[in-house]
Amino acid sequence: MPINATGMSLVIGSVTFCPKSMTVPGYEMNDMLDTTTLCNVEYFTGMAPTLKRVNDLTFTCNFEPADLSAITAELGVEQTIAITFTDSGTTTWTAWGYLHSYQADAGAIDTIWDANGVVKFTNSNASGTETGPVIS
C-alpha cells in the first residue's frame, strides 16, 4: 500500500489505506424538532433532536492498480471501519459502515495517480443492533 508519513491509517476489511488526505467523520444532529401548537401566540417552539448522525469519511490515497480487486471486493460490504491516529499514544476510531465509492483520478505520464474514496456509516452492526463509533 502507499507510504504515508503522518502515521495515520484507514482499515476497511482486508485493505489498509495510507491516506494522503482524509476528512475524518464528524457528527451532526438533525434540525430542531418543531413543537409549535395552535396554543402558541408569539413564538414557534422546538426541541433539540436526540439522534446523532455520523458524517461521511472521504480520503485520497495513491492509486495502485494491483490493489483494485481487493478494494472493489470491499465495496458495499457492511463492516467495521477503523482509523488509527498516532498521536501522543495511539488512538483508534472504529465504526460500522461500508466503502461507498473508490475512483482513480485521471493520471498523466510519469506521475503518481491519486484515488478518492468515500465511506458511509450505518451505525448498526452485523446483527442489526444500533452500534455507534468507539474511540480507544
Q: What is the pLDDT of residue 73?
A: 96
Q: What is the mean pLDDT of residues 88-94?
A: 83
Question: Which residue from 123, 136, 101, 92 is spatially nearest to 27, judged by alpha carbons?
Answer: 123
Percent share of the chain, pLDDT over 70: 93
Quote the cell numbers at residue 85. 491516529
The model carries a pTM of 0.83
Q: What is the mean pLDDT of residues 11-37?
A: 92
Residue 7 in this model has a pLDDT that exceeds 50: yes
Question: Which residue from 64, 59, 65, 69 is spatially nearest to 2, judged by alpha carbons?
Answer: 64
CATH number of the domain that residue 111 is part of? 2.30.110
pLDDT tens digit sequence for 77-89: 999 999 998 766 6
3-state secondary structure at position 52: strand
Task: Assess if residue 60 is contained within a domain.
Answer: yes
Task: Assess if residue 3 is contained within a domain.
Answer: no
Task: Assess if residue 27 is contained within a domain.
Answer: yes
Residue 8 in this model has a pLDDT that exceeds 90: no
Domain of 80?
Answer: 9-135
